[in-house]
């Protein structure tokens, strides 16, 4: 009688996503809600870093069940604590904290600082990793004051480059940088445009000029207030930030990242 042999395939660890925020965290919430569902399968939000200590997104993370580890790295506080330090030093510190969270993907979801080359070079693997970031997951947890990571869930070695994506409330090539919604609203009222949009793009050195991953056009209705336009844009943002994350994770899967 033939003997049946069962083959046990080890379960792949969930993708680890680190999210950078500065404000209310509504887009962070969209990611949290989508994680480990068909919208964003086999993925977890494992760390949230804020540039502001009073950002409500920190509360969203800490009150999640189970709580998502958080940290605050404010520019002014950092510069005050490190006299003579530069903006590049601050961005290197942000990169260190990101690396200590062992991410597969980094998402800028309302992060209000333009990240310098210092940050991008470290996450691309072309610059030395700050010393603390070479710690083991357990040591990194102590540095960041995080709970010890679950066994078998954290990669032993960080793979580079680490993809970074950003959510920007404008169409590719239009209204790069700050106050994109307000500038689009003014352009509409001046008869210069009839629509705006939202995109998720890869982060590169040129602000808001990275490869678009998801783009959604938004018609502007005559008579809308700026607040109405903002509300509509935020609704779309909550959808495409999840879609953009899924696109990148599917690409990592094809590349054989583990």
Please say if 168 is a catalytic residue: yes
Report the alpha-carbon distance of residue 54 to residue 153 in Å, rounded. Answer: 30
Task: Report if pTM > 0.75.
Answer: yes
191: left (phi over 0), alpha (psi -120 to 50) or beta: left
Query: What is the distance between the alpha carbons of residues 20 and 179, in angstroms, rounded to a whole number?
Result: 19
Select the more confidently predicted residue: 139 or 166: 166
Please write the tens of the pLDDT for every residue from 223-248.
999 999 999 999 999 999 999 999 99
Q: How far apart, in whole angstroms, are the C-alpha atoms of residue 224 and residue 180?
A: 16
Residue 2 backbone phi and psi in degrees, to 5: -65, 145
pLDDT at 140: 52
Q: Which of 5, 64, 82, 168 is catalytic?
A: 168
Sheet-wide strand order for 43-50 = 70-72, 43-50, 15-21, 105-108, 164-168, 195-202, 212-219
Q: Using pLDDT thresholds of 50, 70 and 90, give the confidence band for residue 151.
A: very low
Residue 84: pLDDT over 90: yes
Confidence of residue 103 (pLDDT cuts 50, 70, 90): very high
Q: How confident is the model at residue 12 (pLDDT cuts 50, 70, 90)?
A: confident
Q: Which residues pair with 197 in a beta bridge?
A: 217
CATH no. of 15-162: 3.40.50.170
pLDDT tier at 124, thresholds 50, 70, 90: very high
Q: Give the pLDDT of residue 75.
A: 97
pLDDT bin (cut points 50, 70, 90) of residue 149 is very low
Across 102-111, 150-159, 160-169, least confident range: 150-159
Measured from the Cβ of residue 112, the count of other Cβ atoms closer than 10 Å reads: 15
Bridge partners of 215?
A: 199
Q: For residue 136, name the pLDDT band (cuts at 50, 70, 90).
A: low
* 47, burial (CB in 10 Å: exposed 0-12, middle 13-18, buried 19+): buried
Tell me what pLDDT residue 8 has. Answer: 44
Q: Is the pLDDT of residue 54 over 70?
A: yes
Report the percentage of the chain scoring pLDDT > 90: 81
Q: Which of 19, 176, 205 is nearest to 118 (CA)?
A: 205
pLDDT, tens digit (0-9, with 9 covering 90-100), for 174-216: 999 999 999 999 999 999 999 999 999 999 999 999 999 999 9
For the chain, the structural domain boundaries read 15-162, 167-236
DSSP string, the chain: -PPP---PPPPPPPEEEEEEESS--HHHHHHHHHBTSTTBTTEEEEEEEESSTT-HHHHHHHTSSSPPPEEE--HHHHHHHSTT--HHHHHHHHHHHHHHT--SEEEESS--SPP-HHHHHHHHTSSPPPGGGGS-HHHHHHHHT-PPPPTTTS-SS--SSPPEEEEESS-TTSS-SS-HHHHHHHHHHTTS-SEEEEEEEE--SSTT-SPEEEEEEEEPPTT--HHHHHHHHHHHHHHHHHHHHHHHHHHHHHTT--
Q: What CATH class has 167-236?
A: alpha beta
Q: Measured in whole angstroms, how far is the alpha carbon of residue 32 from the centre of its chain? A: 12
Q: Do domains 15-162 and 167-236 have the same CATH topology?
A: yes
Can you give the pLDDT at residue 11? Answer: 63
Beta-carbon count within 10 A of 153 CB = 13
């Amino acid at each position: 009688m033939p003997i049946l042999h069962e083959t046990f395939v080890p379960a792949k660890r969930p993708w680890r996503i680190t999210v950078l925020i500065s404000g209310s965290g509504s887009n962070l919430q969209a990611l949290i809600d989508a994680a480990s569902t068909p919208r964003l399968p086999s993925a977890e939000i494992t760390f949230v870093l804020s540039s502001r200590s009073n950002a409500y997104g920190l509360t969203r993370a800490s009150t999640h069940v189970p709580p998502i580890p958080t940290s605050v790295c404010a520019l002014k506080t950092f510069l005050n604590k490190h006299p003579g330090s530069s903006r590049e030093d601050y961005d290197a510190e942000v990169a260190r904290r990101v690396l200590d969270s062992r991410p597969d993907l980094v998402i800028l979801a309302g992060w209000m600082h333009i990240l310098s080359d210092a940050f991008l070079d470290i996450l691309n693997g072309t610059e030395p990793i700050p010393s603390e970031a070479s710690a083991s997951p357990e040591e990194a947890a102590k540095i960041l004051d995080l709970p010890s990571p679950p066994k078998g869930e954290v990669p032993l070695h960080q793979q580079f480059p680490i993809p970074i994506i950003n959510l920007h409330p404008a169409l590719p090539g239009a209204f790069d940088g700050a106050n994109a919604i307000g500038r689009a609203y003014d352009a509409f009222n001046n008869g210069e445009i009839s629509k705006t949009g939202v995109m998720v793009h890869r982060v590169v050195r040129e602000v808001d000029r990275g490869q678009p991953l998801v783009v959604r056009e938004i018609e502007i209705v005559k008579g809308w207030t700026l607040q109405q336009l903002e509300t509509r844009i935020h609704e779309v943002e909550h959808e495409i930030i999840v879609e953009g994350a899924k696109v990148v994770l599917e690409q990592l899967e094809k590349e054989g990242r583990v």
